[in-house]
Chains A and B, each alone.
Chain A
Amino acid sequence: MPPQLPVPPPASAIYQPSPVYLTGEEELRASSLANASGLGLTISGRILRPDGTISPIKFTHAPNSTRTIATTIVGLSEGWLLGLTVRATTGAPAFGQTWVLLELLRGGGGATDVVQTLGMGFVTANTPLNWPGGVNFLPTDGPGHLRSIVGTTPAAGAEISEVVPTGARWEFLAFRALFVTSAAVANRFPSFIVFDGSSGDYQNGAIVAQAASLSIKYHLAPGAPAPQLDGNNDLVIPAPVGVRLAAGFAINTGTANIQAGDQWSAIRYLVREWMTGE
Chain B
Amino acid sequence: MATGNVVQCNACGGIYRTHQLDGTEYYHACPPQRVIGTKPAPTPTDPNATAPIFEAVANRRDENVKVTDDQGTVAIKAEGLGVTPVTDPAILAAFTAA
Contact = CB atoms under 8 A, between A and B. Distances in A.
Interface of A: 35-38, 64-71, 91, 93-94, 97, 147-161, 163, 165-167, 184-187, 247-248, 250, 252, 257-260, 262, 265-268
B50 A185 contact: yes
B29 A163 contact: yes
B31 A252 contact: yes
A257 B51 CA distance: 6
Given A148-B22, A161-B29, A185-B48, A154 B35 contact: no
A64 B72 CA distance: 10
A66 B25 contact: yes
11 contacts: A37-B25, A68-B67, A93-B23, A147-B22, A150-B26, A152-B14, A153-B14, A184-B38, A248-B64, A262-B35, A267-B98
Interface of B: 2, 9, 12-17, 19-38, 41, 45-46, 48-53, 57, 62, 64-67, 72, 74, 77, 94-95, 98
B52 A258 contact: yes
The main secondary structure of chain A at its interface with chain B is: loop
B52 to A, nearest CB: 5
B25 A158 contact: no
Given A258-B52, A260-B37, A266-B94, A36 B13 contact: no
Contacts, number: 139
**Considering the complex of A and B, which 3 residue pairs feature the smallest CB-CB distances, nearest first?**
A155-B13, A157-B35, A158-B34
B14 A259 contact: no
A186 B49 contact: yes
Nearest to A68: B74
A115 to B, nearest CB: 21
Contacts of A149: 20, 24, 26
Nearest to A178: B98
A160 B31 contact: yes
B73 to A, nearest CB: 9
B46 A260 contact: no
B22 A268 contact: no
Contacts of B35: 156-158, 258-260, 262
A160 to B, nearest CB: 7
B2 A38 contact: yes
